[in-house]
Amino acid sequence: MEENDRRILEREMYQIEQIRQLDLEELQVEEVDDFQNSSDDDDNNNHRDPTHGYDSTGILGEFTYNICVASLHSYLGDVEDTHHRTAFLDGGAVLNLPLFCLQGVVLFPGATLPLRVIESNFVAAVERSLSRVDVPYTIGVIRVYSDTANHSMKSASIGTTAEIRVYSDTANHSMKSASIGTTAEILYRFDNMGA
């Protein structure tokens, strides 16, 4: 069993190293024609300004979409901003956080994870997180995967803490859903015993 754990740890460390290498790569930008310069029949220019509502560069036709602001993810529905930004966790701190074990999902620091939560255990985890005093609006996120050799589900030992930035809470008969947008902050090692 220790050999299997060692291989999983090595694979996770390899993946982290690959991610770090990708962060160092410079992206190539492809230039495309501005939509106002197209030869289509839009002489009256009825297009909406694409910069409206976003962090604009000030040049017509160019905009920067701020993925860190989860409230801009309109497909989440009507959401409330938590107006709470934590000065994040001290190194070595041991906390008991609601843990989201998501199959096939790896949340990287700085990334946004828009979720529509409908399963009762996840809704309860969101409610616990929203009502906490010591680390409010904070959840842990780890990836779970299928171990084909043992025909069981395994979970990663490294994950991220994520702060709930916006949420909505609705009741629809017996189904309750919460829409949350989270932003990952830091990689942490999780002890998911009992999860």
- The domain segmentation of the chain, as residue ranges, is 70-189
CB 68 within 8 A of CB 85: no
Over 60: is that where the pLDDT of 93 sits? Answer: yes
Q: What distance in Å separates the CA atoms of residue 185 and residue 108, rounded to the nearest whole number? A: 8
Let me know how long the chain is: 195
26 vs 43: which has the higher pLDDT: 26
What is the per-residue pLDDT for 162?
82
Over 80: is that where the pLDDT of 174 sits? Answer: no
Domain boundaries 70-189, CATH class: mainly beta
**133 Cα distance to chain centroid:** 22
What is the per-residue pLDDT for 154?
86
User: 126-151, pLDDT tens digit by residue?
Assistant: 888 888 888 888 888 888 888 888 88
CB 165 within 8 A of CB 71: yes
Over 60: is that where the pLDDT of 115 sits? Answer: yes
- Provide φ and ψ at 15, rounded to 5°: -65, -40
43 vs 104: which has the higher pLDDT: 104
Task: Look over the chain and give the mean of its residue pLDDT values, rounded to a whole number.
Answer: 66
What is the per-residue pLDDT for 121?
84
What is the per-residue pLDDT for 27?
57
Centre a 10 Å sphere on the Cβ of residue 180 and count the other Cβ atoms it contains. 28
User: What would the mean pLDDT of 177-185 be, rounded to a whole number?
Assistant: 55
What is the pLDDT confidence band of residue 13, given thresholds at 50, 70 and 90?
A: confident
User: 46-78, pLDDT tens digit by residue?
Assistant: 444 443 433 333 334 444 445 455 444 454 455
